[in-house]
Amino acid sequence: MVVPGSQNPEEQMFNPPSELQKDAHIPDFKTYLQLYKKSIDDPEAFWKEVAQDFFWKSPPKGQFLQYNFDVKKGNIYVKFMEGAKTNMCYNILDRNVKEKNCGEKVAYYWEGNSCDQYRAITYSQLLKEVCKCANVLKYMGVKKGDRVAIYLPMIPELVYVMLACVRIGAVHSIVFAGFSSDSLCERIVDSECSVLVTADGVYRGEKLINLKQIADEALEKCKEKGNVTVKNCIVVRHLGQMTKNGVVSLKLQTPWRADCDVWWDEVMKGSSEECEPEWVDAEDPLFILYTSGSTGKPKGVLHTVAGYLLYTALTFKYVFDHHPEDVYWCTADIGWITGHSYITYGPLANGATSVLFEGIPVHPHVGRFWEIIEKYSVTKFYTAPTAIRLLMKYGPEPLKQFNLDSLKILGTVGEPINPEAWLWYYNIVGQKRCPVLDTFWQTETGGHVLTPLPAATPLKPGSATLPFFGVLPVILNEHGEELEGEAEGYLVFRQPWPAIMRSVYGNHERFENIYFKKFPGFYVTGDGCKRDKDGYYWITGRIDDMLNVSGHLLSTAEVEAALTEYPAVAEAAVVSRPHSVKGECLYCFVTLKDGKEFGHQLAEELKRQVRVKIGPIATPDFIQNAPALPKTRSGKIMRRILRQIARNEKDLGDLSTLADPKVVEVLFNQRCEAAA
């Protein structure tokens, strides 16, 4: 299986297992190349064929595909199948139930935070619940185009509401239930949501989180900002349903606002199971999902119906080589794009059976993932490098207690995977039998853009390998010149694929500025990339002021803003430092106001400040006192130097552009040494 090679990961190749090739959709490399060529030479013909697998109430009116990627030629736009009428929910639920005879097939095995909470939901049950919920939303006055905020843990109701929105043409805006009330408020205000759906609370491992209280605080903050768009708040009684030793327990005092709050089960009780789908345009908005921006507030990434449907359906089918008997499990949270595309839309569009997991990898024991794989005989497993690195720490023992023979394909997403973690995933989890697919993509791309195909692409640990169909990667240098062959530079894309984002919600100019201004004619990912002699792509990390902590993208500017809101802080600069599990972690330099004193307690308070302002995922690992920050004469903070201080790299190179080079020595002397 392993092509003899040196320790250099670039030279180590893993060929696709012949077992998989027997009945794979893309059975070999030659087929991949042929189809790839077709998708690039004639995208219209390629995607038209894919569209035949779905239901269109009426065909596109004009051209199948229209776009402009060049700011010099006018506004940026991408349109797939404009004028066609369809409904995403109808395509992924009704058709599975009514036309494909999948009504009794399990759509989701829901597995709760603790091992004794689980249930199976079939396609027809899912369709009924979605219709009931769609009717509830309609009753509350939600119409086509209206925005609905969803702040829920990983429970089936989350899928019900998102698809209920889609059924009636409303636009969901899901906010990860680990975000703070400030972050939730900011997102509700930006997209002017009229309904908020949340739950009483949730256990994450041992930790109890009072979601309803956070949601109330968010709505209170919206009010303070003069924004009162949310008229109704639907509350799922999640903890109230939990039974421990057969006793219904409700551990939370759920705050209640009679003018606005309704219990989910009460409104769902009388709701009809029939709901005619709203036939929307192919280019109507499907959802908004916020992602950190390197400057300013988070961006509401807007995706539209048809393109996103075609692309998530096809990537799911080919990348996970989906077959009807598969049990697929993606461990992401639906609050992130991975969950949107590869827990909800892609799998359902293929009539797949998935595991929907509420818990965390190490609760109640460190073998939880492996236990679940055995329990449901999972065949395709998709997780993040940070989870792999975390589980690696416990060694192979926890895996040995469970039977993982059902596994066929392993995937990773969210951040670069180091070859060591890749090899552990391949050797120990996959027992040298399962290809490891390193999928590179973004909230903005909607689906995988660089990825291996399991039966076709020879793998190299740490490389996202080659482009998916319809995707044309280019590497540019600083000056925007295209680099051929072996090269390293900015990763950009030359032409649209169906699921590329269409706009930043409410701010198209920001969309153009962020993604298309720097290099006219290209979509700019913000990632650096290397192409090796075989044409394989290796993501080298962000080249803007973004950080990737445990696969979550954070903006340094956002964390700095949270720190400087703290009264004692005059200035803050945040950089990344490598972390053995999280990939990267936050290292913050703070300059205090005159007369304020730095100490352990203040550092802890500042960590708390960031947690409260943004959410626990953004909690800094290090806070360092910085009497002054290294700045250029024009006052620009030199982050390169701060990064090197955080990493204890003593060779700082040229410091001549600094206004006061002595600052550097002071900062070095006060470094936070301790490992995170």
Distance, CA of 505 to CA of 167 (rounded, Å):
21
Q: Does 191 participate in binding ligand WTA (rule CB under 6 A)? A: no
Q: Rounded to an integer, what is the distance from CA 150 to the centroid of its chain? A: 16
Question: Quick one: which of 20, 268, 337, 623 contacts ligand WTA (CB under 6 A)?
Answer: 337
Q: Does 493 participate in binding ligand WTA (rule CB under 6 A)? A: no
Q: Does 558 participate in binding ligand WTA (rule CB under 6 A)? A: no
CB of 346 to ligand WTA, least distance (A): 13
| Cα–Cα nearest to 474, from 462, 457, 487 | 487
Q: Does 388 participate in binding ligand WTA (rule CB under 6 A)? A: no
Distance, CA of 89 to CA of 136 (rounded, Å):
16
Q: Does 291 participate in binding ligand WTA (rule CB under 6 A)? A: yes
Residue 199 · residue 152 · CB < 8 Å: yes
Q: Does 465 participate in binding ligand WTA (rule CB under 6 A)? A: no
| Cα–Cα nearest to 413, from 383, 379, 447, 444 | 383
Q: Does 525 participate in binding ligand WTA (rule CB under 6 A)? A: yes
Distance, CA of 669 to CA of 423 (rounded, Å):
38
Listed in sequence order, the residues at least 6 apart from 640 whose beta carbon sits closer than 8 Å to its beta carbon are none
Question: Quick one: which of 172, 510, 542, 639 contacts ligand WTA (CB under 6 A)?
Answer: 542
**CA-to-CA separations, 463 to 121, 157, 232, 359, 385, in angstroms, rounded:** 36, 36, 46, 29, 13
Q: Does 113 participate in binding ligand WTA (rule CB under 6 A)? A: no
- Residue closer to ligand WTA, measured from CB, 125 or 555: 555
Give the 3-state secondary structure of residue 66: strand
Distance, CA of 305 to CA of 89 (rounded, Å):
10
CB of 462 to ligand WTA, least distance (A): 9
Distance, CA of 210 to CA of 400 (rounded, Å):
36
Q: Does 553 participate in binding ligand WTA (rule CB under 6 A)? A: yes
Any idea what the Cα angle at residue 453 is, between residues 449 and 454, rounded to 5°? 145
Phi-psi region of 66 (alpha: psi -120 to 50; beta: other; left: phi over 0): beta
Distance, CA of 39 to CA of 315 (rounded, Å):
13
- Residue closer to ligand WTA, measured from CB, 440 or 519: 440
For the beta carbon of residue 255, count every other beta carbon within 10 angstroms: 14
CB of 491 to ligand WTA, least distance (A): 9
Instruction: Name the segment binding ligand WTA (CB under 6 A); options: 173-181, 307-315, 331-339, 393-401.
Output: 331-339
DSSP code at position 58: B
CB of 472 to ligand WTA, least distance (A): 17
Per the structure block, which two tokens stand in for 459? 């793998």
What string marks each residue from 70 to 89 as x (binds ligand WTA by CB under 6 A) or -?
Answer: --------------------
- Total chain residues near ligand WTA (CB under 6 A): 22
Q: Does 539 participate in binding ligand WTA (rule CB under 6 A)? A: yes
Q: Rounded to an integer, what is the distance from CA 282 to the centroid of its chain? A: 23
Q: Look at strands 409-413 and 473-476 and give their pairing.
A: unpaired
- Residue closer to ligand WTA, measured from CB, 90 or 311: 311
- Residue closer to ligand WTA, measured from CB, 167 or 542: 542
CB of 254 to ligand WTA, least distance (A): 31
What string marks each residue from 402 to 421 as x (binds ligand WTA by CB under 6 A) or -?
Answer: -----------xxxx-----
Q: Look at strands 232-236 and 261-263 and give their pairing.
A: parallel
Q: Does 464 participate in binding ligand WTA (rule CB under 6 A)? A: yes
Per the structure block, which two tokens stand in for 282? 């192919």
CB of 313 to ligand WTA, least distance (A): 17
Helix 123-139, helix 156-167: angle, nearest 10? 60
Question: Which residue's C-beta sits nearest to ligand WTA?
Answer: 443
Q: Does 437 participate in binding ligand WTA (rule CB under 6 A)? A: no
Q: Does 389 participate in binding ligand WTA (rule CB under 6 A)? A: no
CB of 494 to ligand WTA, least distance (A): 17
CB of 288 to ligand WTA, least distance (A): 14
CB of 511 to ligand WTA, least distance (A): 15
Instruction: Provide the β-strand partners of residue 281.
Output: 85
Instruction: Name the segment binding ligand WTA (CB under 6 A); options: 36-44, 147-155, 323-331, 433-441.
Output: 433-441
- Residue closer to ligand WTA, measured from CB, 79 or 340: 340
Neighbouring C-alpha atoms within 13 Å toward the C-beta of 550 = 13
Q: Does 545 participate in binding ligand WTA (rule CB under 6 A)? A: no
CB of 417 to ligand WTA, least distance (A): 7
Distance, CA of 156 to CA of 154 (rounded, Å):
7
- Residue closer to ligand WTA, measured from CB, 110 or 441: 441
CB of 337 to ligand WTA, least distance (A): 5
Listed in sequence order, the residues at least 6 apart from 255 whose beta carbon sits closer than 8 Å to its beta carbon are 212, 213, 216
CB of 38 to ligand WTA, least distance (A): 25
Q: Distance between terminal CA atoms of the chain?
A: 37
List residues near ligand WTA by CB under 6 A: 291, 336-338, 413-416, 438-443, 464, 525-527, 539, 542, 548, 553
